[in-house]
Amino acid sequence: MQPWSREQFVEKLREVGQQQYHDQHPFHRMMHAGTLTREQIQCWVANRFYYQKKIPVKDALLISRCPVRQVRRHWIQRIIDHDGTDVDPGGIEKWLRLGEGVGLARDDLERDLLLLPGVRYAVDAYVHFVGSRKWVEGVASSLTELFAPSLMKARLAALEKHYPWIDAEALAYFRSRPPLASRDSEHGLETVFEYCKTQAEQQRAVDALKFKCDILWAQLDTIYQHAVNPPTDHLP
């Protein structure tokens, strides 16, 4: 079979976001409607932090397995964005400040004391995926960033409107991230199109993006079941 055209390939990737991205998850809908409690927001922030701090670990794995120097040179900026520099605290530090802004202790976040097992399992599965599949599939899995800017803008607006008890300065992560996600998604899209030469390789890229969407959805499922809809029946 002939490979898809660029337009066909991009459309199939975007269809994944339209159908499977976690912006439609009930937890996000509650957040944007302003119906989450303080404790539910705290649960989300604490558990999402585990994902945030694993992003540069995932990216380091991808770089270590990528044979293309130009891709590595560009991709390393993602690690810097999250780990920070002497002049920019980076995404992980900004998320820690978000945690403090919603009333959590930094030490509790860094030691994973509030981490739910299902979230740990999902995030670790994603890191394992990137470390075990072809490097370009790891790139494709990052393309959830195609859909992230609009979600983060909506999230920021909802947090500012409905949760005024959160310190405005603690929301810095959501203000800084959309342009970075747009930049990274453009590079990721160019990379998968360049290095997925056959339709089979293109399909594996689409499947990698679907897997990443499943990982994001699974995290929210765990948080939702714990913080919003906990089971009422317990085995003796």
> Which two structure tokens, joined as six digits, stand for 212?
């990443």
pLDDT digits (tens, 9 = 90+) for 180-222: 999 999 999 999 999 999 999 999 999 999 999 999 999 999 9
Residue 231 confidence (pLDDT) above 80: no
pLDDT digits (tens, 9 = 90+) for 148-173: 999 999 999 999 999 999 999 999 99
Interatomic CA distance for residues 72 and 62, integer angstroms? 9
Residue 233 confidence (pLDDT) above 60: no
Where do the domains of the chain lie?
6-227
Residue 143 confidence (pLDDT) above 90: yes
What integer best gives the mean pLDDT of the chain?
A: 96
> Which two structure tokens, joined as six digits, stand for 174?
């959501």
User: What number is the average pLDDT over the span 103-114?
Assistant: 98
Which of 5-19, 41-55, 222-236 shows the lowest per-residue confidence on average (mean pLDDT)? 222-236
Q: Which CATH number fits the domain 6-227, given the four candidates 1.20.910.10, 2.60.40.10, 1.10.443.10, 3.40.1160.10?
A: 1.20.910.10
User: What number is the average pLDDT over the span 86-108?
Assistant: 97
Residue 235 confidence (pLDDT) above 50: no
- Number of residues assigned to the chain: 236
At 186 the pLDDT is 96
At 31 the pLDDT is 98
Single-letter amino acid, residue 217: W
At 171 the pLDDT is 97
pLDDT band at residue 80 under the 50/70/90 scheme: very high
User: What number is the average pLDDT over the span 85-109?
Assistant: 97
What's the pTM value of the predicted model, to 2 decimals?
0.95
Q: Give the angle 16-139-154 at the CA atoms, nearest 5°.
A: 50
DSSP structure string for the chain: -PPPPHHHHHHHHHHHHHHH-GGGSHHHHHHHHT---HHHHHHHHHHHHHHHHHHHHHHHHHHHH---HHHHHHHHHHHHHHH--SS--HHHHHHHHHHHHTT--HHHHHTTTT--HHHHHHHHHHHHHHHHS-HHHHHHHGGGGGTHHHHHHHHHHHHHHH-TTS-GGGGHHHHHHHHHHHHHHHHHHHHHHHH--SHHHHHHHHHHHHHHHHHHHHHHHHHHHHHTS--S----
At 232 the pLDDT is 67
